[in-house]
Protein backbone atom coordinates (compact mmCIF):
# COMPACT_ATOMS: atom_id res chain seq x y z
CA UNK A 1 0.00 0.00 0.00
CA UNK A 2 1.59 3.30 -1.02
CA UNK A 3 1.01 6.66 0.61
CA UNK A 4 -1.56 7.76 -1.96
CA UNK A 5 -3.90 4.97 -0.85
CA UNK A 6 -3.73 5.81 2.85
CA UNK A 7 -6.38 8.07 4.24
CA UNK A 8 -5.75 10.23 7.29
CA UNK A 9 -7.87 9.37 10.32
CA UNK A 10 -9.79 11.80 12.46
CA UNK A 11 -8.46 12.20 15.99
CA UNK A 12 -10.01 13.67 19.13
CA UNK A 13 -9.00 16.74 21.13
CA UNK A 14 -6.93 14.61 23.54
CA UNK A 15 -4.68 13.40 20.71
CA UNK A 16 -4.23 16.94 19.39
CA UNK A 17 -3.45 18.20 22.91
CA UNK A 18 -0.77 15.51 23.37
CA UNK A 19 0.69 16.35 19.96
CA UNK A 20 0.87 20.07 20.75
CA UNK A 21 1.84 19.69 24.41
CA UNK A 22 -1.27 21.61 25.46
CA UNK A 23 -4.44 20.89 27.39
CA UNK A 24 -7.62 19.47 25.85
CA UNK A 25 -9.50 22.55 26.99
CA UNK A 26 -7.08 24.84 25.10
CA UNK A 27 -7.43 22.76 21.92
CA UNK A 28 -11.23 23.01 22.11
CA UNK A 29 -10.91 26.77 22.67
CA UNK A 30 -8.80 27.05 19.50
CA UNK A 31 -11.41 25.08 17.57
CA UNK A 32 -14.30 27.12 18.99
CA UNK A 33 -12.63 30.40 18.02
CA UNK A 34 -11.76 29.16 14.52
CA UNK A 35 -7.99 29.17 14.91
CA UNK A 36 -7.85 25.46 14.02
CA UNK A 37 -10.24 23.50 11.86
CA UNK A 38 -12.45 20.87 13.42
CA UNK A 39 -15.40 18.74 12.42
CA UNK A 40 -18.57 18.14 14.44
CA UNK A 41 -19.38 14.46 14.71
CA UNK A 42 -21.95 12.64 16.70
CA UNK A 43 -25.63 12.35 17.16
CA UNK A 44 -28.30 14.38 18.80
CA UNK A 45 -27.21 13.92 22.39
CA UNK A 46 -23.63 15.10 22.22
CA UNK A 47 -21.50 16.47 19.45
CA UNK A 48 -17.79 15.69 19.58
CA UNK A 49 -15.14 17.68 17.78
CA UNK A 50 -12.72 15.71 15.60
CA UNK A 51 -9.56 16.93 13.95
CA UNK A 52 -7.13 16.03 11.18
CA UNK A 53 -3.61 16.38 12.56
CA UNK A 54 -2.23 17.63 9.24
CA UNK A 55 -4.84 20.42 9.12
CA UNK A 56 -4.13 21.48 12.69
CA UNK A 57 -0.41 21.65 11.96
CA UNK A 58 -0.99 23.73 8.82
CA UNK A 59 -3.37 26.05 10.72
CA UNK A 60 -0.72 26.70 13.37
CA UNK A 61 2.31 27.07 11.06
CA UNK A 62 3.75 30.55 11.30
CA UNK A 63 2.19 31.33 14.66
CA UNK A 64 4.97 32.34 16.98
CA UNK A 65 2.98 33.06 20.10
CA UNK A 66 0.42 31.07 21.99
CA UNK A 67 -3.12 32.27 21.37
CA UNK A 68 -4.62 33.60 24.57
CA UNK A 69 -8.14 34.53 25.55
CA UNK A 70 -8.99 38.18 25.60
CA UNK A 71 -9.30 39.57 29.11
CA UNK A 72 -12.96 40.45 28.71
CA UNK A 73 -13.77 36.95 27.42
CA UNK A 74 -15.02 34.88 30.35
CA UNK A 75 -16.75 31.57 30.63
CA UNK A 76 -20.46 31.35 31.31
CA UNK A 77 -19.75 29.90 34.76
CA UNK A 78 -17.66 32.94 35.65
CA UNK A 79 -20.35 35.27 34.33
CA UNK A 80 -23.06 33.51 36.36
CA UNK A 81 -20.93 33.65 39.49
CA UNK A 82 -20.25 37.35 38.99
CA UNK A 83 -23.96 38.04 38.43
CA UNK A 84 -24.86 36.25 41.68
CA UNK A 85 -22.36 38.32 43.64
CA UNK A 86 -23.79 41.56 42.26
CA UNK A 87 -27.39 40.75 43.17
CA UNK A 88 -28.82 42.42 46.25
CA UNK A 89 -29.30 40.09 49.21
CA UNK A 90 -32.86 39.03 50.01
CA UNK A 91 -34.01 39.78 53.53
In whole angstroms, what is the distance from residue 58 CA to residue 28 CA?
17
Q: Identify the pLDDT of residue 23.
A: 93
Q: Identify the pLDDT of residue 25.
A: 93
In whole angstroms, what is the distance from residue 25 CA to residue 75 CA?
12
List the chain pLDDT tens, one digit each, 91 residues: 455 567 889 999 999 999 989 999 999 999 999 999 999 988 778 888 999 999 998 998 877 666 666 555 545 555 555 655 666 555 5
Q: Identify the pLDDT of residue 26.
A: 92
Q: Is the pTM of this model over 0.75?
A: no
Q: Identify the pLDDT of residue 91.
A: 52
Task: Supply the DSSP symbol for 3.
Answer: G
Amino acid sequence: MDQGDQQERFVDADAIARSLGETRRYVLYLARTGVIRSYAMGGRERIKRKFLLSEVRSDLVGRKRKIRRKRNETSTKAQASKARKNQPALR
